[in-house]
Amino acid sequence: MNSIAKKSQTQSLQLAAKLHQKLAGIFGEKTQVILYGSQARGEAVEDSDIDVLVVLPDLGKTTLDTALDIAWEVGFEAGKVLSIIPATDKEMKCLSASPFFQAVQREGIPV
């Protein structure tokens, strides 16, 4: 990993941790945030977005709207785009055989 990718990964982890802190403060300690994609692999370029899987207690409209708003705020403050994929713990278990969730489990960095 080159120094630019390492710096980008470090910043992405910090933003994901900030997102996790804010979401856990609202939805509780079972909330999970997992950085995945090019940032987690150390392959990001300067304009790469920050891919995060967010595990929430439910995916009701209010929960989703709140999570999306917080992700937007965290990204906006840093001049970055946080692309979140919301899921529940139950979905993580039921869909664990899907290529997407396998990739997240393989390369993802929990924060």
Domain parsing of the chain, residue ranges: 3-110
Q: What is the pLDDT of residues 5-32, one digit of tens each?
A: 678 899 999 999 999 999 999 999 999 9
Predicted pLDDT of residue 7 = 82
Number of continuous H segments (helices) and E segments (strands) in the chain: 5, 4
Both structure tokens of 42: 């150390």
CB 82 within 8 A of CB 22: no
Mean pLDDT score, 52-65 = 96
Question: Does the structural domain 3-110 have CATH classification 3.30.720.120?
Answer: no
Predicted pLDDT of residue 46 = 80
pLDDT > 70 fraction of the chain, expressed in percent and rounded: 96
pLDDT > 90 fraction of the chain, expressed in percent and rounded: 83
